[in-house]
Amino acid sequence: MNLSEQAISGVIAPELAEGLIRETYASVASHPAIASLGKKLTRTIVLAPLAWVIMGGAYFGKLAPFLMRRYTLTNRRLMIRAGWKGKPIKEVPLSQIDEVRLVRDANTDFFRAANLEIISGGQYVLTLLGVPDPEGFRHAILDSRNAWAPGKSKSLPFLPASAAK
């Protein structure tokens, strides 16, 4: 089958090729000490510019080749990738993901980011620090797992759209 002859544009079966579903970069909240300090300083008028400089280093550090981290979800796996080339440093296949837990901290509401813990076989296999829009990324992981990993879709209860906040 030619990829240009797909039934649905952009949908690739894992057997044919690995397709990107979603990718995000870690937020400032992935550095708890910097995030807490920045949050405290931002609440003052005089020290807010200092907070912007401190947090700016962490924010723009995600573009530095040796600091760059991004979280990539494909139709086969969930990865933490590093560097400009995006070399996978940690990964877990979708078929091994049992649960994704959202872990909030004191900075979650301020930065709109939280940590995601990936659980496989009752153990933590991967932790994604400072994920922006954590609930959306969590649902993307679970939906991808349910769609592409055989036998996993029955492990979650059905949640109607009216149940979402």
Per-position pLDDT tens, the chain of length 165: 555 555 555 567 777 788 889 999 888 888 888 887 888 888 888 998 888 888 887 778 777 777 788 999 999 999 999 988 889 999 999 999 999 999 998 888 888 899 999 999 889 999 999 999 999 999 999 999 988 877 766 555 666 666 655
Closest CA to 30 of 133, 115, 105, 87: 115
Output the furthest CA–CA distance in the chain (Å, rounded). 62
Q: What is the pLDDT of residue 2?
A: 52
Residue 112 CA to its chain's centroid (Å): 13
Rounded to whole angstroms, how far apart are CA atoms 32 and 35? 5
Please indicate, yes or no, if residue 108 is contained in any of the structural domains: yes
Instruction: Identify whether 19 is part of a domain.
Output: yes
Domain range holding 107? 3-26+65-149
pLDDT of residue 153: 60
pLDDT at 159: 63
State the CATH number of the domain containing residue 145.
Answer: 2.30.29.30
Residue 79 lies in a domain: yes
pLDDT at 126: 94
> How far is Cα 60 from Cα 68, in angstroms, rounded to an integer?
9
What pLDDT is stored for residue 57 in this prediction?
79
How many domains does one find in the chain? Answer: 1
pLDDT value of residue 91: 95
Asked if residue 133 is part of any domain, the answer here is: yes
Does any domain span residue 20?
yes
At residue 116, the pLDDT reads: 95
The pLDDT value recorded for residue 128 is 95
pLDDT at 94: 93
119, 100 Cβ separation under 8 angstroms:
yes
